[in-house]
Chain A
Protein backbone atom coordinates (compact mmCIF):
# COMPACT_ATOMS: atom_id res chain seq x y z
CA UNK A 1 0.00 0.00 0.00
CA UNK A 2 2.84 2.34 0.75
CA UNK A 3 4.06 2.09 -2.79
CA UNK A 4 0.66 2.84 -4.21
CA UNK A 5 0.72 6.26 -2.56
CA UNK A 6 4.39 7.09 -3.04
CA UNK A 7 3.99 8.00 -6.69
CA UNK A 8 0.98 10.19 -5.98
CA UNK A 9 2.72 12.13 -3.22
CA UNK A 10 5.75 12.63 -5.46
CA UNK A 11 3.48 13.94 -8.20
CA UNK A 12 1.86 16.40 -5.83
CA UNK A 13 5.20 17.98 -5.07
CA UNK A 14 5.49 19.02 -8.70
CA UNK A 15 4.12 22.43 -7.96
CA UNK A 16 5.59 25.70 -6.71
CA UNK A 17 5.82 26.59 -3.05
CA UNK A 18 2.86 28.44 -1.59
CA UNK A 19 5.21 31.34 -0.86
CA UNK A 20 6.12 31.62 -4.54
CA UNK A 21 2.48 31.78 -5.61
CA UNK A 22 1.72 34.27 -2.84
CA UNK A 23 4.70 36.39 -3.90
CA UNK A 24 3.35 36.51 -7.46
CA UNK A 25 -0.11 37.48 -6.28
CA UNK A 26 1.31 40.25 -4.09
CA UNK A 27 3.67 41.35 -6.87
CA UNK A 28 0.75 41.64 -9.25
CA UNK A 29 -1.38 43.59 -6.78
CA UNK A 30 1.41 46.03 -6.06
CA UNK A 31 2.36 46.57 -9.70
CA UNK A 32 0.92 49.44 -11.64
CA UNK A 33 2.13 50.21 -15.12
CA UNK A 34 1.73 53.69 -16.50
CA UNK A 35 2.03 54.46 -20.18
CA UNK A 36 3.72 57.79 -20.82
CA UNK A 37 3.06 60.21 -23.66
CA UNK A 38 6.23 59.02 -25.37
CA UNK A 39 4.69 55.51 -25.43
CA UNK A 40 7.22 54.12 -22.98
CA UNK A 41 6.16 52.37 -19.77
CA UNK A 42 6.84 53.21 -16.15
CA UNK A 43 6.51 50.40 -13.62
CA UNK A 44 5.37 51.37 -10.16
CA UNK A 45 5.61 48.87 -7.33
CA UNK A 46 3.23 50.22 -4.73
CA UNK A 47 3.72 48.18 -1.58
Chain B
Protein backbone atom coordinates (compact mmCIF):
# COMPACT_ATOMS: atom_id res chain seq x y z
CA UNK B 1 0.00 0.00 0.00
CA UNK B 2 1.37 3.46 -0.86
CA UNK B 3 0.79 5.16 2.45
CA UNK B 4 2.10 8.58 1.31
CA UNK B 5 -0.69 9.06 -1.21
CA UNK B 6 -3.56 8.07 1.05
CA UNK B 7 -5.06 10.69 3.36
CA UNK B 8 -5.59 10.05 7.05
CA UNK B 9 -9.32 10.25 6.49
CA UNK B 10 -9.24 7.50 3.87
CA UNK B 11 -7.06 5.31 6.07
CA UNK B 12 -9.44 5.78 8.98
CA UNK B 13 -12.40 4.85 6.80
CA UNK B 14 -10.66 1.74 5.49
CA UNK B 15 -9.62 0.77 9.00
CA UNK B 16 -13.17 1.16 10.29
CA UNK B 17 -14.28 -1.04 7.40
CA UNK B 18 -11.90 -3.77 8.51
CA UNK B 19 -8.58 -3.08 6.80
CA UNK B 20 -6.26 -3.60 9.76
CA UNK B 21 -3.15 -2.69 7.74
CA UNK B 22 -4.30 0.96 7.73
CA UNK B 23 -3.75 1.22 11.46
CA UNK B 24 -0.06 0.46 11.11
CA UNK B 25 0.26 3.15 8.44
CA UNK B 26 -1.48 5.69 10.65
CA UNK B 27 0.70 4.82 13.64
CA UNK B 28 3.92 4.97 11.66
CA UNK B 29 2.91 8.16 9.90
CA UNK B 30 2.34 10.06 13.15
CA UNK B 31 4.48 8.19 15.68
CA UNK B 32 7.38 10.61 15.60
CA UNK B 33 5.25 13.70 16.12
CA UNK B 34 3.20 12.12 18.90
CA UNK B 35 6.12 10.50 20.65
CA UNK B 36 8.17 13.71 20.58
CA UNK B 37 5.22 15.70 21.88
CA UNK B 38 4.68 13.31 24.80
CA UNK B 39 8.37 13.13 25.63
CA UNK B 40 8.69 16.93 25.56
CA UNK B 41 6.08 17.06 28.34
CA UNK B 42 6.94 14.09 30.55
CA UNK B 43 10.71 13.80 29.92
CA UNK B 44 10.72 10.06 30.57
CA UNK B 45 11.00 7.30 27.97
CA UNK B 46 8.95 4.67 29.81
CA UNK B 47 6.10 7.06 30.59
CA UNK B 48 6.20 8.33 27.02
CA UNK B 49 5.91 4.76 25.78
CA UNK B 50 2.94 4.12 28.09
CA UNK B 51 1.10 7.27 27.07
CA UNK B 52 1.77 6.61 23.39
CA UNK B 53 0.34 3.10 23.78
CA UNK B 54 -2.69 4.29 25.78
CA UNK B 55 -3.37 6.95 23.17
CA UNK B 56 -3.66 4.41 20.38
CA UNK B 57 -5.65 1.99 22.52
CA UNK B 58 -8.21 4.78 22.91
CA UNK B 59 -8.00 5.53 19.20
CA UNK B 60 -8.56 1.87 18.29
CA UNK B 61 -11.50 1.49 20.68
CA UNK B 62 -13.16 4.67 19.48
CA UNK B 63 -12.74 3.81 15.80
CA UNK B 64 -13.98 0.26 16.28
CA UNK B 65 -17.00 1.49 18.22
CA UNK B 66 -17.88 3.73 15.31
CA UNK B 67 -17.75 6.75 17.64
CA UNK B 68 -15.23 8.71 15.58
CA UNK B 69 -16.89 11.65 13.88
CA UNK B 70 -14.08 14.06 13.10
CA UNK B 71 -13.49 13.33 9.47
CA UNK B 72 -10.42 15.03 8.09
CA UNK B 73 -9.09 15.92 11.53
CA UNK B 74 -7.45 12.70 12.61
CA UNK B 75 -4.18 14.10 13.94
CA UNK B 76 -5.70 16.96 15.98
CA UNK B 77 -8.10 14.43 17.46
CA UNK B 78 -5.27 12.06 18.41
CA UNK B 79 -3.26 14.98 19.79
CA UNK B 80 -6.16 15.91 22.02
CA UNK B 81 -6.37 12.35 23.36
CA UNK B 82 -2.63 12.47 23.99
CA UNK B 83 -2.90 15.82 25.70
CA UNK B 84 -5.63 14.55 28.03
CA UNK B 85 -3.59 11.45 28.90
CA UNK B 86 -0.58 13.61 29.73
CA UNK B 87 -2.78 15.72 32.01
CA UNK B 88 -4.08 12.50 33.63
CA UNK B 89 -0.51 11.37 34.17
CA UNK B 90 0.45 14.57 35.95
CA UNK B 91 -2.72 14.48 38.01
CA UNK B 92 -1.96 10.96 39.16
CA UNK B 93 1.61 11.77 40.03
CA UNK B 94 0.67 15.08 41.68
CA UNK B 95 3.23 16.90 39.60
CA UNK B 96 0.79 19.12 37.81
CA UNK B 97 1.55 22.82 38.33
CA UNK B 98 -1.26 24.21 40.48
CA UNK B 99 -2.72 27.67 40.64
CA UNK B 100 -3.99 29.26 43.83
CA UNK B 101 -7.69 29.90 43.60
CA UNK B 102 -7.46 33.41 45.01
CA UNK B 103 -8.99 36.63 43.83
CA UNK B 104 -5.72 37.52 42.11
CA UNK B 105 -5.75 34.52 39.83
CA UNK B 106 -6.49 35.40 36.24
CA UNK B 107 -7.69 32.42 34.25
CA UNK B 108 -6.37 33.96 31.07
CA UNK B 109 -2.85 34.00 32.42
CA UNK B 110 -2.51 30.27 31.82
CA UNK B 111 -3.16 30.73 28.12
CA UNK B 112 0.00 32.67 27.33
CA UNK B 113 2.78 30.85 25.46
CA UNK B 114 5.22 32.68 23.26
CA UNK B 115 6.97 29.66 21.79
CA UNK B 116 4.21 27.54 20.40
CA UNK B 117 4.94 24.63 18.13
CA UNK B 118 2.31 23.13 15.85
CA UNK B 119 1.01 20.69 18.45
CA UNK B 120 0.77 23.27 21.19
CA UNK B 121 -0.99 25.61 18.79
CA UNK B 122 -3.66 22.98 18.14
CA UNK B 123 -4.19 22.51 21.85
CA UNK B 124 -4.20 26.22 22.52
CA UNK B 125 -6.82 26.75 19.80
CA UNK B 126 -8.97 24.11 21.43
CA UNK B 127 -8.55 25.70 24.86
CA UNK B 128 -9.50 29.11 23.48
CA UNK B 129 -12.59 27.58 21.91
CA UNK B 130 -13.47 25.93 25.22
CA UNK B 131 -13.14 29.27 27.01
CA UNK B 132 -15.33 30.99 24.41
CA UNK B 133 -18.03 28.36 24.93
CA UNK B 134 -17.84 28.83 28.68
CA UNK B 135 -18.12 32.61 28.36
CA UNK B 136 -21.41 32.11 26.50
CA UNK B 137 -22.86 30.53 29.62
CA UNK B 138 -22.22 33.60 31.79
CA UNK B 139 -25.04 36.00 32.74
CA UNK B 140 -25.44 38.68 30.08
CA UNK B 141 -24.12 41.60 32.18
CA UNK B 142 -21.00 39.71 33.25
CA UNK B 143 -20.39 38.38 29.75
CA UNK B 144 -20.61 41.91 28.33
CA UNK B 145 -17.93 43.24 30.72
CA UNK B 146 -15.66 40.22 30.28
CA UNK B 147 -15.79 40.37 26.50
CA UNK B 148 -15.02 44.09 26.48
CA UNK B 149 -12.12 43.67 28.91
CA UNK B 150 -10.53 40.47 27.58
CA UNK B 151 -11.40 40.27 23.91
CA UNK B 152 -11.69 43.99 23.10
CA UNK B 153 -8.95 45.04 25.52
CA UNK B 154 -11.01 47.97 26.85
CA UNK B 155 -10.18 49.71 30.10
CA UNK B 156 -12.72 49.66 32.93
CA UNK B 157 -13.27 53.38 32.38
CA UNK B 158 -14.22 52.67 28.74
CA UNK B 159 -16.40 49.75 29.81
CA UNK B 160 -18.11 52.02 32.32
CA UNK B 161 -18.82 54.62 29.64
CA UNK B 162 -20.07 52.04 27.15
CA UNK B 163 -22.35 50.17 29.52
CA UNK B 164 -23.60 53.10 31.55
CA UNK B 165 -22.58 51.63 34.90
CA UNK B 166 -19.96 52.81 37.37
CA UNK B 167 -16.37 51.58 37.21
CA UNK B 168 -16.92 49.78 40.51
CA UNK B 169 -19.92 47.94 39.11
CA UNK B 170 -17.93 46.97 36.02
CA UNK B 171 -15.10 45.71 38.23
CA UNK B 172 -17.58 43.73 40.31
CA UNK B 173 -19.14 42.16 37.22
CA UNK B 174 -15.70 41.20 35.95
CA UNK B 175 -14.86 39.63 39.30
CA UNK B 176 -18.08 37.60 39.33
CA UNK B 177 -17.57 36.65 35.69
CA UNK B 178 -14.20 35.10 36.60
CA UNK B 179 -15.63 33.40 39.69
CA UNK B 180 -18.45 31.96 37.61
CA UNK B 181 -16.02 30.86 34.90
CA UNK B 182 -14.05 28.91 37.50
CA UNK B 183 -17.26 27.26 38.67
CA UNK B 184 -18.18 26.36 35.09
CA UNK B 185 -14.72 24.88 34.53
CA UNK B 186 -15.11 22.71 37.62
CA UNK B 187 -18.67 21.75 36.68
CA UNK B 188 -17.65 20.65 33.19
CA UNK B 189 -14.40 19.13 34.43
CA UNK B 190 -12.45 21.06 31.80
CA UNK B 191 -8.66 21.27 31.86
CA UNK B 192 -7.36 24.64 30.66
CA UNK B 193 -3.62 24.09 30.80
CA UNK B 194 -1.29 23.93 27.84
Identify the A interface with B (CB < 8 A). 14-17, 20-21, 23-25, 27-29, 31-33, 35, 41, 43
Contact = CB atoms under 8 A, between A and B. Distances in A.
Contacts of A41: 65
A33 B35 contact: no
B113 interface: no
A25 B65 contact: no
Interface of B: 20, 23-24, 27-28, 31-32, 35-36, 39, 49, 52-53, 56-57, 60-61, 64-66
**Would you call the interface of chain A mostly helix, strand, loop, or mixed?**
mixed
Contacts of B66: 35
25 contacts: A14-B36, A14-B39, A15-B35, A16-B31, A16-B49, A16-B52, A16-B53, A17-B49, A20-B49, A20-B53, A21-B24, A21-B28, A24-B23, A24-B27, A25-B24, A25-B27, A28-B20, A28-B23, A29-B20, A31-B61, A32-B64, A33-B64, A35-B65, A35-B66, A43-B61
